Amino acid sequence: MNRRAFLAASAAGSLAAVSGCLGLLGSSSSSVNHVGNLDAEFHANTSLPADEDPADGYPPEYGNPDERNVDPSSFRTTTTNGETIRLAPIEVARYWHQRAAARFVDARGLQQYERAHIYGAVSSPAQRGSEGGGISGWSKDDRIVCYCGCPHHLSSVRASALQQAGFSNVFVIDEGFGPWYENGEPMRGTDFSAPQEAFVDGEVDPQHAGDYAWATHEPSGQQEAAPIGDDGTFSLHLKFYDVTEDTPIHVQTPAFDVTRPLGDLTSTVLTG
């Protein structure tokens, strides 16, 4: 295995059983999972007011931050699945979080959400392309902040699906969940230990530039995605729990589809 694989220590403990799963409610709307419908022992990493409605994506107000002007037109952007995605700086996301001024959507896999997620966020994982649609019962004018750990590949995919479903006020945390976790910002979860990290590098024909490569641990649903560059290369930065060098990981690109042990995937440039 190369030196870039497994940068973080292996996390301990196993995932509690869950009930229910993410399901589609047609092409334009998807259901979500949250602490109120999952059979797991969630706890918070800090003292916060109770979240009275865990299905709405809003955290409770806390901290009494001074009011500030936020100009979304100044945010960096990225293009995903034909959509222009606005990248909100993490300090803006934190401000909106303290004021309960945005709904938060975790675009990672459900197991990653269960282990640790932004307080108040719901789980609505990204899907390939712009599938996944909107979220049932949420107004299309509401401010929605998506996030993932990579730092904003999965979340941009999820945001693109929301925008294509007609949601007009969608953002992605530019720096991703990593700094939120590392700085001990408000979270809920079952185990706040760090995931294992590994890099899977690959290459396809440059004609696929702008498409995505995906890596999935299928038994747990943990997933990661990365855009394919102009030269055809991609680098998947995995942050998965309870995996080893021998764990089979499924990698999908527009050019090939393979399942191999993680140690094999991280020891070479994957070309099919």
Q: What domain count does the chain have?
A: 2
125 with 249, same domain: the answer is: no
Q: Is residue 21 part of a domain?
A: no
40 with 150, same domain: the answer is: yes
Q: Is residue 228 part of a domain?
A: yes
Neighbour-count burial for 164-177, b at 16+ CB within 10 Å, e otherwise: bbebebbbbbbbbb
User: What CATH number has the domain bearing residue 214?
Assistant: 2.60.40
120 with 173, same domain: the answer is: yes
Q: Is residue 22 part of a domain?
A: no
* % of the chain residues with pLDDT over 70: 89
- Owner of token pair 């589809």: 257
Q: Is residue 1 part of a domain?
A: no
181 with 200, same domain: the answer is: no
90 with 155, same domain: the answer is: yes
- Given 173, 189, 205, the domain boundary residue is 189
Q: Is residue 63 part of a domain?
A: yes
237 to each of 63, 200, 202, 264, how far by Cα in Å? 33, 7, 12, 15
Mean pLDDT of 84-97: 98
Per-residue pLDDT reduced to its tens digit, 97-153? 999 999 999 999 999 999 999 999 999 999 988 788 999 999 999 999 999 998 999
168 with 201, same domain: the answer is: no
DSSP secondary structure code for residue 218 in this structure: T
202 with 236, same domain: the answer is: yes
- Given 189, 208, 233, the domain boundary residue is 189
Q: Is residue 33 part of a domain?
A: yes
Q: Is a pLDDT exceeding 60 seen at residue 32?
A: yes
Q: Is residue 13 part of a domain?
A: no
Per-residue pLDDT reduced to its tens digit, 154-169? 999 999 999 999 999 9
Q: Is residue 36 part of a domain?
A: yes
Residue 172 CA to residue 1 CA, distance in Å, equals 33
70 with 115, same domain: the answer is: yes
183 with 203, same domain: the answer is: no
Beta bridge partners of 222: 217
User: What CATH number has the domain bearing residue 79?
Assistant: 3.40.250.10
83 with 168, same domain: the answer is: yes
Query: Mean pLDDT over all residues of the chain?
Result: 89
Q: Which of 137, 108, 140 is nearest to 121 (CA)?
A: 108
The pLDDT value given to residue 29: 63
Residue 68 CA to residue 214 CA, distance in Å, equals 38
Strand order in the sheet with 212-217: 222-227, 212-217, 248-252, 257-261
pTM of the model: 0.88
80 with 210, same domain: the answer is: no
- Given 141, 157, 189, the domain boundary residue is 189
Q: Which domain holds residue 173?
A: 29-189
The pLDDT value given to residue 119: 98
Mean pLDDT of 51-79: 96
Amino acid at position 213, single letter: A
35 with 148, same domain: the answer is: yes
Q: Is 174 left (phi over 0), alpha (psi -120 to 50) or beta?
A: alpha
